[in-house]
Structure formats: structure tokens, C-alpha cells
Amino acid sequence: MYETEIFRSGFDSSGIHVWGWEIAVYLFLGGMTAGLMIIAPLLSRRVPEERQSRALRLLPFAAPVLLSLGMLALLLDLEFELHVFRFYTALRITSPMSWGAWILLLIYPATLGLGSARLSAEETLSLVSRWPRLSPAFSSVLSWTRRNVEALERLNVILGVALGAYTGILLGTLAARALWSSMWLAPLFLISGFSAGAAATMLLPTTSEERDQLRRWDVMAMAAEIGALAIFFIDLASDGGERGRAAAALFFGGPYTAFFWAVVVIAGLGMPMALETIESRRHVNAAVLAPVLLLIGGLALRWIFVLAGQAAV
């Protein structure tokens, strides 16, 4: 038998483990934001305006809140936080992190613009009366967003897809890590982000008509996510060479097997998919269990990929 053992001196091996919970949380919240940006315009086209819940109408405002939390996690990960402005003194096309930073910046005006276009008359009035001095500027912004609401909806969907895919591409270009260097991470994280966005919306006080539609989309998204996961691992094991097979083995018998199958696949995908299918068929009112499981599964997926990607160098 032929064996190879490599011993490396000097370097503290913990220095190689570079990204922790901050990146996992950021990828999760970023994906959820992306999902909300896609769902808000699509769902409000499906449900006639007079039947829409307040939660759906104001859903675009949830995106910047979640994204800001995610960006806070990202900031905490930086080793030199004061230099964060350096992301905006450069645009490097070869670095997904660079164009991602710029996408994040575009999301604020896009989501706030769409949200403001959907404010009711009373909501507008209460905002204006709170800051009377700003009311001329505010009403001119509102009249512009109301005139361009369809363009804003399209922009939200486009930026949402870009954000969701970017969370996967961010890891995908790091060719040094066998588990990450796959372009299948982009669709996988995009679909999972859509699912997380649907789950978050279902937890809000929406109508049963809205939740029915969300469940139908979500079941399809979960089926697609299971497919994307399967393709990801098949691609990794068949096309990723020796290192790819070693990385795939982490999930099939290796140290991440139990956590991945129990939390990500069964609790985070299989169970909510079964629950939502039953809820759709039987027209029972949705429980919070399925969306909560989905959110846990979505976070667990990012977490395990961030950790395992660094275990398989």
C-alpha cells in the first residue's frame, strides 16, 4: 500500500480556518432578503390589491432591515472594521465580494422605493405629519415611486436574483476549497434564499390566500433545492477530482454527515415539505412549525457549508 503524509511546521493551523458564524449568518440573511425581494412583487401581482394583507403590502420594508442585520454580521467578520469604506473606493470585477458590496448598496433605494410606493394614504399622512419639514421632498419621492412602481418591482426581482446568486458565487470562486469551488452553489443558495423568504413571509400576519400561494411556490422551491443539492454532490464527487471526492465524503460518512442529514435535509427540507404539502392538500391553516423548520434548515445549510468548506482544503 502507498500512503502519503504531509506535516507542516510553523503555521498555526487555526489560522487557516478563516470564516465563522458571521459569514454563515450573513449568507443566510442575505439569501432571505433576496427571497423577500423576489416574493414581494410576485405575490402582490397574484393577490388583488384589495385583498392584500398589510404585511404583504409593506413586505419590501423587511428587506433592508434583514439585510442590515446581515451586513452587521459581515462587518463583525472584518479584521479591520474601520477600513470598511474601502469596499466603496474600488470595483473589482474578478472579486464577487466587490460587486456584491455594490449590489448591497443598490438594494436600499430599490426596496425602500417599492415600499414607499405601496404606503396607504393614512400611512403616508402619519409619516408626513411626523416630519412636516420633509413633506415636500417626501411627496415628490412618493409621486415618483408610485408612477414607476412596475419598474421598481422588476428592479427588486432582478436585484433579488442577483443577491441570492451572489451569496453562492461568493464561495464559488474560492477555487482553493474543493467544497466551495462549484457554480452549483449559486442556484442552490438562490433557491434556498427564496424558500427562506417565503418562510419569513408566512410567519407574518398574512391572509390564508397569500399563504396558500406561498406554500405552493415553497413546495416547488424545496423540491428544486433537493434537486440542486443532489446535482451539487454528484458534480463534486464525479468532476471535482480527488479533493472533490474527499469534500463530498464529509457529508457521506464523514464528520458532517449526521448534522447535514438530520438538520439540513430531514428537518430543514423534508419535514417542512411534507407539512406544507399536507397543509395545501387538506386546506388546514398553516402552523408556524414548517416555516420555522425551513429557516433553521436554511441557516444550517450555510453554516455547514462555511465550516465544511474550510475543513476540506
Residue ranges binding another protein (CB under 8 A): 1-12, 15-16, 18-19, 77-81, 83-84, 86-87, 89-90, 92, 94-98, 100-101, 173-177, 241, 310, 313
Residues 210/49, Cβ–Cβ less than 8 Å: no
User: Residue 90 Cβ, how far from another protein at the closest point, in Å?
Assistant: 5
Judged by beta carbon, residue 1 or residue 121, the one nearer another protein is 1
Judged by beta carbon, residue 12 or residue 122, the one nearer another protein is 12
How far is it, in rounded angstroms, from Cα 67 to Cα 115? 15
Judged by beta carbon, residue 100 or residue 164, the one nearer another protein is 100
Judged by beta carbon, residue 180 or residue 217, the one nearer another protein is 180
Which triple of cell numbers denotes residue 163?
A: 443577491
How far is it, in rounded angstroms, from Cα 72 to Cα 83? 14
Residues 310/24, Cβ–Cβ less than 8 Å: no
User: Residue 156 Cβ, how far from another protein at the closest point, in Å?
Assistant: 24
Judged by beta carbon, residue 100 or residue 291, the one nearer another protein is 100
User: Residue 244 Cβ, how far from another protein at the closest point, in Å?
Assistant: 11
User: Residue 182 Cβ, how far from another protein at the closest point, in Å?
Assistant: 14
Identity of residue 246: A
User: Residue 178 Cβ, how far from another protein at the closest point, in Å?
Assistant: 10
For residues 123, 197, 29, 164, the Cα torsion angle rounded to the nearest 10 degrees is -110
User: Residue 20 Cβ, how far from another protein at the closest point, in Å?
Assistant: 10
CA angle 195, 197, 202 (to 5 degrees): 95
Residues 33/156, Cβ–Cβ less than 8 Å: no
Judged by beta carbon, residue 87 or residue 256, the one nearer another protein is 87
Judged by beta carbon, residue 88 or residue 144, the one nearer another protein is 88
User: Residue 173 Cβ, how far from another protein at the closest point, in Å?
Assistant: 6
Identity of residue 169: I
How far is it, in rounded angstroms, from Cα 209 to Cα 51? 9
How far is it, in rounded angstroms, from Cα 228 to Cα 16? 29
Q: Is 82 exposed, middle or buried (0-12, 13-18, 19+ CB in 10 A)?
A: exposed
